[in-house]
Amino acid sequence: MAGMLALLGACAKSQDGSTAQEGIPGTSQQALSLGVVQVKDLNTRPVRFPSVRSEAVALADGTSLFAARDGLFGEELWRSDGTEVGSSLVKDIAQGLTDSNPRHLTRVGNTVFFAARSEGFNDFAVEELWKTDGTPSGTVRVKRLPKSGESDQIAGMVQANGTVYFTYDHGYEAQLWKSDGTGAGTVVVQSVAFPYEDVQLLAVGNTVFFTARDTQHRGELWKLDGAGSQRLVTFTLSPSYPRERLTAVGNLLFLASDKTLWRSDGTPGGTFAVATLPFQIGEMVAFNGALFFGGYQGLWKSDGTVASQVQTFEGKVGSFATLGGALFFAGTHGSFGTELWTSDGTAAGTHLLKDLVPGPEGSLLRELLAWNGGLYFTASTSLGTRGLWRSDGTAAGTLVLKTWAEAEGSFLEKSHSFTPVGSALLFTVPERPEDFFPSITWRTVGTAKGTREMGGAWTGTRSSQSLTQPLATVGDSVYFAASDGSPGETLWKSDGTPTGTVPLRTFSQLTEAGGSWEEPPDAVRVGGTLFFKAEDGAHGFELWKSDGTAFGTVLVKDIVPGPESSYVGDFTELNGVLFFTAVDALFEWSLWRSDGTEGGTFPLKKGPFSDLTVVNGTLYMTVSAEEDGIGAALWKSDGTLEGTSLVKMPISGRYSYLSRPVAVEGTLFFSAGDGEGDVQLWKSDGTAGGTVPVKTGFDCIETLYSASLHGRVFFLACDATHGYELWRSDGTAAGTGLLKDIQPGPGNSIPHALTRVGERLVFVAYDEAHGMELWRTDGTESGTQVLVEMTPGTGNGILVTEDNPFTMLGIEDRQLAIFPGGNEASGVELWQTDGTVAGTFRKAEIAAGPVSSSPSAFARLGDRLFFMAGDMAHGREPRFLAFPKELGTLTGTAVAEGSTCTALPQVTPSCTYNALAPDASFAWTAPSAGTFVFTTEGSGYDTSLELSDAVSGASLGCNDDTEDSLQSSVSRTVTAGQTLIITIDGYDAECGPFRLGIRRRP
C-alpha cells in the first residue's frame, strides 16, 4: 500500500529529565517507516460537513467563527463563508476526538474571545480564556484560569469599551473577570455569587450590568463602568425559581426575577420594581421602544413605568423575533395549537399570521430567527415530520423550504442550531428521526432550491467506526461493529487482510462494548463462537451468536418475546458454556446459561446476579441487596443449579453493595459497603470461612484492577485524608496501604488503565505538576513515578473524556503496551511503551502533522494489532499493524524462510523509494557482542534489507542490492542482548520467496 508513514522524531521528557527520542528523518539515524495498513475503507461515502453548534460570531470579512464537530476532530473552532470550499478548521485546540468546547464567542474589534479547554472537556482540564483573529497562528491562549474544583467554568461573556468581561465559577464562588487580551491583563474584578448561580451579564454601551448574590443569598443588580462597580438594588429571590433575565430597551435596563419586573437607568434611584405579576416572566425582547415578554397565557409589554397585557393566550408565548417593524412569536391558542403570531404592539394589531397545521395540535413551531430580510423557524408539518420555514412577514410569504423525518423529543425541545455563516444560514437535521441531537448540517439562502445538505469541507470519505472497542477475537479473526453509511450497525469480521474483512449481519443497534476501562463485556468468545447482544428491529436487545459466517450469525433465543429487551449482559465463559444475566417477560432477573441452542439457553437461578467472574474453574458473582434488608452477597457456581450457592453476605442492609470481584493468584478480591459510608476491602477463597475483610475505614473503593504485580491487588480508593488514589494489598491488613499520594492531599489523581508490562505496571494518572500523563510503578512508593511527559509541563499528554475513554493494550509476550498519546506538534497518535523511558515512543504517525488519528479499540490478532484510527482521506477505519516475528538468537544461512507474497506492504525501508512491495519483519537478539552480517542471499526475487533499533525505531543500516546481485546485505556491530528489527522488502511491488541469513563476522 502506498504512502506508508514514518516514525517522526519526537522527544518524550521523563521525570528525571532524560529523553526518549525517535529516529529523526533526514539524519543518519533515519527512522524505519513502520506503516499502518488500512484493512478496508468500509464507509466510502463522501465526508460530511461538521455538525455545527448554534453559537457564531461574524468577522469583518464576511466569514463567521463557530464551534463544530466531525468524525476526526472533537468540538472545535471553525471558520466559514457559508460554502464548503470556504470552510476550515481554525485550530484543533484539544487534540483528536476530544472536545475543547469553544463557548461564549465574543467579538472585540477584530479579535474574538472565547472559553475553551485545551486538555479536553473533562474534570481534570483547566478552563482557559482564548482569543483569535480567525487564523491558526492567531488563535492563542490568553490565560489558564486558576483551578480549585472539577466544575470550574466560564459561565458568560460580554464586551464593553474594548474590554471583555466574563463570569467564572471558581471553587466556592462565582467571580467577575475582565481581560484586555493579555495574560497579565486578565484579572478578577470581584466576587459576585456562590458558584453555579444563574448570574447574568449584559453590556449596554460602555456599561456592564450583572446580577449577583449577597451573603444572605438575596439577589443584586450591579453595574460596572469607567468609574468602577456599583450595586443598584437588592431583591428577594424566589426559592423555587432563583434566576434572572436582563434585556436593554434603549438606555433602560429591564430585569426579570421570577414574577417581578424591574427597570434601571443605571442609578440606584432610577432602579425600581415596575410590577409583580401572577406568573413567572418568560422570554423578553425589545420592540418599538418598549419591552415585550411572554408570560403565563399572555403577551405582555412595559414602557418602564407599568406592565400591561397585550393579548391573552392559552399557553406558552415566546421565541420572539422582530422583522420589518413587526414582532413575531410562537403563541399557543386552544383553536390553533402553537402557531406563528405577529404584533405591532397593540391588542388590535396582534393576530395569527398563519395556521401552518390546521387544528388544535398546531405546528409546534420554535427557534424564530430574523436573518437576511426573512424570518426563519422550524415547525412540524405533520406527525413525525418537521421542516425549515421562511416568512417575509405575510401569510402568503410564509413557506416551507425543507422537511425531514423527526420524532418530537420526550422532555426537551430539540435544537436545530441555526447558525448564520457568511452568505448562508446553517442548520442541523437529524440523521434518524429518533435522534435527540440533530447532527447533519444543511444550508439555506432563503429558497427551496438553495436549501441543501452541506458537502464536506475536504475531500475524503466518512468514518465507519460505531463502537469504541472491538467485540472480541475468535481464533484468527477479530469481530467489530462498523457502519458503511447505511442505516443500522453491522457486525464485521476480519482476518487482517482486505479480502478477509467482511460484513456478517446488519442490526438496528449493537450495544457499546467496553465504553470504560473495567466495564463488563457485551460479547465473549466461547470455543469458536462469538456470543453478543444486539437489536434487529423485530426483537429487543437479545442473545445472538456468530460462527464467522453471515449464515451462522443468528438469534440464539428471544428471551422476552417481541420488541422488548431482556437486557442480556455480563457474558462469561466457563467450561465451554456461556453464562450471563437477563430478565424474563415478568422482568425478573436470573443467572442464565447457554450452549448456543435455543433449547439449551435457560435460567439457572433467579436473583439479581451481576459481576460474573471465573476463578480457578468456579463462577463467582454478586447479588444486589433487597428491599427487605437482605444485604448484597457473594455467590459461586459450578454451572449447575445444585452447585450454585451463597458464599457469604459480607455486610447486611438494604443499601449494602459489592464491587466486581477480581482474581489475583487464585484469591478473589472485592469491596463491600453498607451504603452509609462504611467501605471495606474483602478477599475470598470461595468458602464462607475464607471470605474475610482485609481492611476497613475507606470512604470509597471505586475500582479493583485486574492487573496485578507480585501477588498484590491494586485498586482506586479514597479515605478521610486522600482523594481518589492508587492503593495496593497483599491480602493482609498490614500489607494494605496507599501506594502513593500522586495528587497530594484531598485532590484526585484517578489512576486508571493499569496494564502489566514485564515487572512493572503502567497507568494513567493526573497531578497538577504534570497534567494527565503516563506513569509506571514497580509496586513501591519510590518506584511510582511519571514515565514520560508527552506534553511537557502542566498540559495533558493523555486526553480523556466520557465519550472518548482512554484504552491501553498490554502485549504480555512482548512486554509492551500500546496506547494513544499526543502533543501539539503531532496530535494524538499510536505510542508504545516497555515501561522504560527509552522504550516509550510514538510508534507511528497515521495522520500527518498536527491532525490526530486518535487510535483506539485495540485488539491482538496473532502477530497483528487491530485498532481504529482516522485520517482525512478515509475517516476512522480499521487498521492492522504487524509485529515482527521473533527469531531469538538464531544464526545461520537460513534462520527464516518464506514468501512475502502472502504478506502486506507495511514498511518502506530508507534505501528504497516506495511502499508498494509486501514485506516481512523479524526481531533478532544478539547472542554476543561483535559484528554480524545479515543477508538475503538465496532469495528468489529482488530484495532490500534494513536493520533498525527495536526500541527507538532508528535505522541501523539499509541495502538495496549488493554489487551485481539482486540480493542485499548489511553488517552491524552490536552488543550482547541488543535487539534489532530486520525487514525484508522488494523492488517496486515485487514479492517472492525469501531467505534470511545471519552470521558472525570473524
Quick one: which of 237, 167, 236 has its CA closest to 208? 167
Q: What is the pLDDT of residues 236-257, one digit of tens each?
A: 888 777 678 999 999 999 999 9
Q: Contact, 953 vs 912, CB < 8 A?
A: no
Mean pLDDT of the chain: 88
Query: With 60 as the cut, is the pLDDT of residue 95 above it?
Result: yes
Query: With 90 as the cut, is the pLDDT of residue 193 above it?
Result: no
Q: What is the pLDDT of residues 358-390, one digit of tens each?
A: 888 889 899 999 999 999 999 998 888 999 999
909 band by pLDDT with thresholds 50, 70 and 90: confident
> Which of 287-291, 292-296, 804-808 holds the top average pLDDT?
287-291
Quick one: which of 877, 853, 803, 847 has its CA closest to 98? 803
Per-residue pLDDT, 21: 33
DSSP state at residue 911: T
Contacts of 299 (CB under 8 A, 6+ apart): 292, 293, 309, 310, 311, 313, 317, 329, 331, 343, 350
Written in H, E and C, the secondary structure of 324-384 is CCEEEEEEEECCCEEEEEEECCCCCCCEEEECCCCCCCECCCEEEEEECCEEEEEEEEECC
Query: With 60 as the cut, is the pLDDT of residue 228 above it?
Result: yes
Average pLDDT for 97-115: 94
Backbone torsion region of residue 196, taken as left when φ is above 0, otherwise alpha when ψ lies between -120 and 50, otherwise beta = left
Per-residue pLDDT, 97: 86
Query: With 90 as the cut, is the pLDDT of residue 492 above it?
Result: yes
683 band by pLDDT with thresholds 50, 70 and 90: very high
Query: With 60 as the cut, is the pLDDT of residue 187 above it?
Result: yes
Average pLDDT for 173-188: 96
Average pLDDT for 728-732: 96
Average pLDDT for 559-574: 94
d(CA 851, CA 872): 8
Per-residue pLDDT, 134: 96
610 band by pLDDT with thresholds 50, 70 and 90: very high
Q: What is the pLDDT of residues 932-986, one digit of tens each?
A: 999 999 999 999 999 998 877 788 999 988 877 889 999 999 999 999 999 999 9
C-alpha cell at 239: 426559592
Average pLDDT for 779-794: 90
Query: With 60 as the cut, is the pLDDT of residue 130 above it?
Result: yes
36 band by pLDDT with thresholds 50, 70 and 90: low
Of 306-315, 406-415, 620-629, least confident by mean pLDDT is 406-415
Of 299-303, 501-505, 513-517, 979-983, least confident by mean pLDDT is 513-517
516 band by pLDDT with thresholds 50, 70 and 90: very low
Per-residue pLDDT, 11: 29
**711 phi/psi in degrees, rounded to 5:** 75, 10
Within its chain, how far is the Cα of 59 from the centroid?
A: 30
Average pLDDT for 811-829: 87
d(CA 952, CA 933): 21
Query: With 60 as the cut, is the pLDDT of residue 411 above it?
Result: no
215 band by pLDDT with thresholds 50, 70 and 90: confident
Backbone torsion region of residue 217, taken as left when φ is above 0, otherwise alpha when ψ lies between -120 and 50, otherwise beta = left
% of residues, the chain, pLDDT over 90 = 63
Name 471's bridge partners: none
Label residues 820-842 b or e (16+ Cβ within 10 Å = b). Answer: bbbbeebbbbbbbbbbbbebbbb
Query: With 50 as the cut, is the pLDDT of residue 511 above it?
Result: yes
> Which of 464-478, 532-546, 739-753, 858-872 holds the top average pLDDT?
532-546
d(CA 228, CA 285): 28
219 band by pLDDT with thresholds 50, 70 and 90: very high
Average pLDDT for 544-556: 97
427 band by pLDDT with thresholds 50, 70 and 90: very high
Per-residue pLDDT, 804: 67
| Higher pLDDT pick, 689 / 800 | 689
Query: With 60 as the cut, is the pLDDT of residue 869 above it?
Result: yes
Within its chain, how far is the Cα of 60 from the centroid?
A: 34
C-alpha cell at 671: 469491596
18 band by pLDDT with thresholds 50, 70 and 90: very low
Per-residue pLDDT, 98: 86
Query: With 70 as the cut, is the pLDDT of residue 628 above it?
Result: no
